[in-house]
Amino acid sequence: MRHTLVLLVTAAGTFGTGACDDAGRRDASPPATQQTDPRGRPLPSSEPGALEAPDRAAWQQPERVMDALNIADSSRVADVGAGGGWFTAYLARRVGPNGVVYAVDVQPAMIESIKRKMKMEGLTNVQTILGAPDDPRLQPGLHAALLVDTYAQLPDPVTVLKRTAAALGPGGRIGVVDFKNDGAGGPGPPIADRVAPEVVIRDASLAGLTLSNQERFLRYQYMLVFTKTGG
Strands 8-11, 173-179: parallel, antiparallel or unpaired by DSSP? Answer: parallel
pTM flag (> 0.85): no
**Tens digit of each residue's pLDDT (9 = 90 or more) over 178-219:** 999 886 678 888 999 999 999 999 999 999 989 999 999 999
Tell me the average pLDDT across 46-65: 76
Give helix 86-95 / helix 108-120 axis angle, nearest 10°. Answer: 50
Distance in angstroms (rounded) separating the CA atoms of residues 157 and 152: 9
Domains and CATH numbers, the chain: 8-29+57-228 (3.40.50.150)
CA 172 to chain CA centroid, Å, is 15
Residue type present at position 47: E
* Phi, psi torsion values for 228, nearest 5 degrees: -65, 135
pLDDT in tens, 94-125: 999 999 999 999 999 999 999 999 999 999 99
Q: How many Cβ atoms are within 10 Å of 27's Cβ, its own excluded?
A: 11
